[in-house]
Structure 1
């Protein structure tokens, strides 16, 4: 630490500095690194997204609210109890193919694209009313 005009100054280590070890910072309260905390938060999300589904949602500009995700999760749990493994979820804006045992969205498309699509390898359908 150095002082600049009476204020403490903490220099930011440069990348590739041989004296700097790449260690993750620990949070004061839990002792977890940011990466661990972030991964824990992701794992607590009710519905997981496959890489393919994330790309589809992003490229097709599909955005679902937290309440919609919660509704989807609730219906996925119901479908799982009924023995449904892979299901088509229809919302007012999107069509999602989900795997209920893993709580994972496999793919996503907007409704215009879904109109001309044949869905295969599903054994259930979930309609989300708004």
Structure 2
């Protein structure tokens, strides 16, 4: 047998069991992906409603992955930090709030990335033009 064809056959998924169960497993995997997507959409909507600031896709992923608190109080403090940065003429500040760091694009009013206390050690922030501590 041709080695290339043999390798292709080895890579093919083999399903065993009842075909109905296999389809249900596929459907449940697809549903969980949809639930994650819907959670992200709900989180984005909530952030947009409660704040003038928006979060980039990357920042939203970091918020979810690092379990960062984005309560209404935190968003209010973050908006205050953005306002202070804007007053000083900063365009891309690092905003430090308690144990969380936010890199914000002030002209677009958008959080670019989020780093929490567990990920802060050893972090290097580049392309920032100032720091605001709130």
**TM-score of the two chains, using structure 2 as the length reference:** 0.60
Q: Is the CA contact 1:46–1:70 (under 8 Å) kept in the aligned structure 2?
A: no
- 1:61 Cα deviation from its structure 2 partner: 0.9
Q: Quick check: which one's helix share is greater?
A: 2
Alignment of 1:1-130 (within 5 A): 42=48, 45-128=51-134
Q: CA RMSD in A?
A: 2.2
* Structure 1 residue ranges, 4+ long, deviating more than 4 angstroms after superposition: none
Structure 1: stretches of 5+ with no match in the other structure: 1-37
Report the CA distance shift for 1:69/1:42 in structure 2 as closer, same or farther (over 3 A).
closer
**TM-score of the two chains, using structure 1 as the length reference:** 0.62
Q: Quick check: which one's strand share is greater?
A: 1
Structure 2: stretches of 5+ with no match in the other structure: 1-43
Count of residue pairs brought into register by the alignment: 90
Distance in 2, matches of 1:91 and 1:81, equals 18
